Amino acid sequence: MSIPTELIGSLPRTAELLTAMSTGSQHGAHLVAAQDHAVRETVESLEAIGSPVVTDGEQTKPSFLTYPLQGLSGLSPDGVVLPFLDGHHRQLPVLTSGPFRYKTGAAEYLRAAQRYASVPVKQAVAAPSALSLLYPPAGIAGYPREQFLDDLVSEAEADIRACLDAGAHVVQMDFEEGRLSLKLDPSGGLLTELVELNNRVLSRFTEAERGRIGVYCGPGADQDSTHSLDVDYAGLLPQLFLLTAGVFYLQVASEPDPDRVLRLTADLLPPQARVFVGVTDPLDPRVESPEEVRDRVLQAARHLPPDRLGTCDDAGFAPFADDVSTSRETAFAKIRARVEGTALAAAQLGV
C-alpha cells in the first residue's frame, strides 16, 4: 500500500484478560496465561483484517502512560488529576523519592508481540513530557527537579533505544498532554517546556533513528470522552511541529473543521516528516464505511502530498486497561474500514 496506515496502539482487552486482571493477585499464573493469549489473539486478529503494521494492543499495560511505574517504589497515589469533559478523571501518582528509574521498559511489550507477528510491529512509549508531571510542585528533599529531569531524559532515551534495537517498525511517543497543557496554561508556557523536554530526548538520536520515532497528539480518549477537544489545534500545532521526530500522528476525524486542521498541518509540517491523519473516531460507536474513510483520505490529500501522508485512528481504543466503553468487535471493524478505505483512496490517487 503506497499510503501507509497504522493504529495508534491500544485495543480493548479481551474478556478473559479482564476477568483475570480482576483476580490477578490471587491467580498469578492464570493472569500471565491470559495476557499471553490476549497478545497473540490481538496480533493475529490485526493481521487477519489486513493491518500492514500491528501492535500488541497494549493488552498487558495498565495504561499507555504508567507502564514504566509498574512495581516502582517511591510513589504516592495523589498526583496530577487529568479531568475529562464528561466529568470523570484519571489521577497520576506522584514521586516521593529519587532517583527516578523505569521499572518496566516498553521493549518487553514489543518482544511479546513480535513472537506472534509476521508483519512489522510498532511500539508506543510514554513521552517524557507526560512523566515529568510525576514530580511534585513542592519538590523532593535531596532530589532537585533538574536532577529528576536529567534522569527522566536518560530513562526515556533508553526506553526508545531498546525498542529500536529490538526491531520496532516505529516507536511512537504518546504526547496527549500537549493539547491539554493549553487548557492548564493558556499562555503556552507549559507547552513550550514540554516540547523542549521531548526534544532533549530526541536530540540523542541520529536523523535516521528519528525517522523511526513518531509523536502522537490528540485531545485524550477515555470512556468515550476527551479532556481537551475544546482546545484549538491552532495553538498547539506550531509548537508540536517543532519536535524533531520523523513522524506525527494527529486526531482529525472528530475535528469540527478537518480542512482547517489539514491546512495548518500542511503549512507547518517539517519538510522531513510524514503525518498520519485520523480517519476513524474510536469514541463514535458507529463504524465508518471504507468509502467514508476513502473520502477522508482524499480530503487530506487535497492538502498534503501522498508521499507525506498516512492514516491512523484518532486515538487508541482503550488507553487505560479498565476502559470497556468500546467493544473489541467495534474496534476491529473500524480498523478494517481504515485499512480498506486507505487502499481505496490510494488506488483513486494512483499512488
Three-class HEC string of 219-277: CCCECCECCCCCCCHHHHHHHHCCCCCCEEEECCCCCCCHHHHHHHHHHHCCCCCEEEE
Per-residue confidence of the chain (351 residues) as pLDDT tens digits?
589 999 999 999 999 999 888 886 556 888 889 999 999 999 999 999 999 999 999 999 988 888 999 888 899 998 888 889 888 889 899 999 999 999 999 999 999 999 999 999 999 999 999 999 999 999 999 999 999 999 999 999 999 999 999 999 999 999 999 999 999 999 999 999 999 999 999 999 999 999 999 999 998 888 888 888 899 999 999 999 999 999 999 999 999 999 999 999 999 999 989 999 999 999 999 999 999 999 999 999 999 999 999 999 999 999 988 888 999 999 999 999 999 999 999 999 988
* Burial class of residue 93 in the structure, from the number of CB atoms within 10 Å of its CB (0-12 exposed, 13-18 middle, 19+ buried): middle
Give me the sheet containing 309-313, strands edge to edge: 123-126, 171-174, 213-217, 247-250, 274-280, 309-313
If we measure between CA atoms, which residue out of 243, 240, 181, 242 comes closest to residue 213? Answer: 243
pLDDT at position 24? 62
Is the separation of the CB atoms in 264 and 233 below 8 Å? yes
Indicate the pTM of the whole model. 0.95
If we measure between CA atoms, which residue out of 180, 172, 276, 264 comes closest to residue 226? Answer: 180
Q: Centre a 10 Å sphere on the Cβ of residue 271 and count the other Cβ atoms it contains.
A: 5
Residues in the chain: 351
Distance CA 169, CA 276 (A): 15
**Architecture in CATH of 15-349:** Alpha-Beta Barrel (3.20)
| Residue 214 β-bridge partners | 172, 247
Q: Which pLDDT tens digit goes with each residue over 306-351?
A: 999 999 999 999 998 888 899 999 999 999 999 999 999 999 998 8
The DSSP 8-state label assigned to residue 121 in this structure reads B
Please report, for the chain, the start and end positions of each structural domain, with discontinuous segments joined by +.
15-349
Distance CA 328, CA 307 (A): 31
How confident is the prediction for the chain on average, in pLDDT?
94
Distance CA 266, CA 260 (A): 10
Q: Which pLDDT tens digit goes with each residue over 228-283?
A: 889 999 999 999 999 999 999 999 999 999 999 999 999 999 998 999 999 999 99
Name 126's Cβ contacts closer than 8 Å, sequence gap at least 6: 64, 65, 66, 67, 68, 106, 156, 159, 173, 174
Distance CA 104, CA 173 (A): 16
